[in-house]
């Protein structure tokens, strides 16, 4: 490995360490209380080192978002490999979405629930992974609409309705809002049945 390649590898390793540590701090402290200094202290570097990679806390928060959406995007793509039926795609995407949230509840909370001023997100024209996740859902639904298999006529309305349904269930689960149910109730089984029912309801 040459000097340039080694330097680039070191930069990528440092960037990943910053992101992983920032994720922990944002989750522990919330966006408002989190600081570049606190993140720097955890990795035992000066704040100036972090500023070499990210201009401010907003940009760093955006980068952590991208980290989570990269993982979600990968799982949603893997879930439908070899599948062409739009309803089976919708079903598998739904399962993948729930699986991601259950296995990464803190990251999901940071991505979708944590209150934070998203100035950088507004400025970014290419929020790549976030847009791609939504686009995958739209592609599936568009095929269902074009084949007259879905009740919806507008793909964005369909995508927003279905995503809101899934997000609502998942958010209630990871925030432990289903405790009102009897302790014997299998919440994940109930959520799976709800997903199946939702799919039936949107069929034309």
* Count: domains in the chain: 2
60 in a structural domain: no
Whether residue 75 is found in the same domain as residue 33: no
- Same domain flag for 158 and 191: yes
Query: Do 14 and 99 reside in the same domain of the chain?
Result: no
Domain assignment of residue 59, yes or no: no
Confidence at residue 7, expressed as pLDDT on a 0 to 100 scale: 80
For position 198, what pLDDT does the model report? Answer: 95
Q: Say which CATH number the domain at 20 has.
A: 1.10.10.60
pLDDT of 124 reads 52
Tokens of 55: 């201009």
Residues 47 and 87 placed together within one structural domain of the fold: no
- DSSP 8-state secondary structure symbol assigned to residue 114: S
* Per-residue pLDDT at 188: 86
The predicted pLDDT at position 18 comes to 95
Question: Residue 48 sits in which domain range?
Answer: 1-54
CATH value at residue 197: 1.10.357.10
Write down the pTM of the prediction. Answer: 0.85
Question: Chunked in runs of 10, what are the mean pLDDT values of the chain (204 residues)?
Answer: 79 92 90 92 93 91 89 92 90 95 91 69 62 90 93 94 94 84 75 94 91
Residue 93 forms part of a structural domain? yes
Query: SS3 for 20?
Result: helix
Q: Which residues contact 194 (CB under 8 A, 6 or more apart)?
A: 169
């Amino acid at each position: 490995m040459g000097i340039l390649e080694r330097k680039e590898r070191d930069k990528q390793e440092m960037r990943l360490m910053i992101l992983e540590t920032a994720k922990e701090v944002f989750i522990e402290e919330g966006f408002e209380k989190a600081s570049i200094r606190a993140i720097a202290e955890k990795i035992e570097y000066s704040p100036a080192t972090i500023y070499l990679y990210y201009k401010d806390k907003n940009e760093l928060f955006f980068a952590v978002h991208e980290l989570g959406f990269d993982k979600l995007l990968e799982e949603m793509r893997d879930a439908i490999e070899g599948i062409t039926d739009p309803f089976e795609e919708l079903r598998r995407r739904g399962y993948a979405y729930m699986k991601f949230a259950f296995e990464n509840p803190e990251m999901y909370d940071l991505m979708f629930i944590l209150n934070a001023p998203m100035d950088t997100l507004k400025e970014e024209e290419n929020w790549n992974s976030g847009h791609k996740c939504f686009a995958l859902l739209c592609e599936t639904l568009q095929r269902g609409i074009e084949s007259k298999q879905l009740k919806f006529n507008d793909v964005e309305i369909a995508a927003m309705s279905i995503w809101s349904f899934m997000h609502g269930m998942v958010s209630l689960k990871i925030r432990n809002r289903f405790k009102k149910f009897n302790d014997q109730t299998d919440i994940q089984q109930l959520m799976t049945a709800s997903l199946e029912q939702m799919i039936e309801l949107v069929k034309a």
